[in-house]
Copies of this chain bind each other. A is one copy, B any other.
């Protein structure tokens, strides 16, 4: 049994109650706050030395990433983060000055987004630094965007540029909180997710359970400069398009909206967020499966990012 099969088994029998509006399976849990028209969001995530950052990573970037991952999940629901609490697993012989810089990085991000760091615990985790963050957020119930909700025919959009995030972006990305709330405030966003596993993988999550598919337009995928540079510099590196489809940790927003809204949305976005690219990369289809269209035609897109043209 691998980790994903284990998660599926664990998720099958979790206790719930009447306050849970959406539990596992979305970017955040959505909870009834008892306040009409509002909902609470709850999310936890961790970063671990040697897994999510290296022993050489600057401490400020570790703290930034630990909080930013959770904030990106709040963004994916079009929510507003309120407060975070932190569990810090300290290695043997930790350097207090290093830990203070980890916190400085987290605190700076929290301040930019008005998030309180409202508590924490420290424990020993002898072999490596571990930082687990839990974030509480809120959202207007009729503006909360779930992963499920895509319709056949929807236009598929993605913010920013994709691929090559291991060159640095995975440590420095700014969660798309303002962008997501603006989107939900001005458009009927049908479904949204933040990209953590890579476009090809996360798009599958958007389509799960709905009997839907998607057709991507190859030349519309926004490929990052980092992915292009890497492909040039290393012969063994992924081709840029493949990197954009399959590299993890882009932390951009992937969302769908009725196709008749697509042009108005793109124009309004350009007026609002001139520094953040927005790309319409394809559409949702009524039949299951991912496909890619390029100048050669249309072919199925595999989970590993490869396209097999007939």
Contact = CB atoms under 8 A, between A and B. Distances in A.
Closest 8 CB pairs of A and B: A134-B134, A29-B118, A132-B132, A14-B117, A1-B96, A44-B85, A15-B110, A29-B119
A236 interface: no
The oligomer's copy count stands at 2
Interface string A120-161: 111111111010101010100000000000000000000000
Contact of A107 (B14, B35, B119): B14
Given A87-B132, A126-B127, A121 B45 contact: yes
A85 B30 CA distance: 12
Contacts of A123: 46-48, 51-52
Nearest to A109: B15
A111 interface: yes
15 contacts: A6-B122, A7-B120, A15-B117, A16-B117, A16-B118, A24-B119, A29-B85, A40-B136, A42-B136, A44-B132, A45-B121, A46-B87, A48-B123, A87-B87, A127-B128
A122 B262 CA distance: 36
Interface residues of A, number: 68
A286 interface: no
B44 A86 contact: yes
A38 B34 contact: yes
Interface string A47-86: 1101110000000000000000000000000000011011
Contacts of A50: 126
Interface of A: 1, 3, 5-7, 9-10, 13-17, 19-20, 23-24, 28-29, 31, 33-35, 38, 40, 42-48, 50-52, 82-83, 85-87, 89-90, 96, 99-100, 103, 107, 110-111, 114-128, 130, 132, 134, 136, 138
Nearest to A112: B15
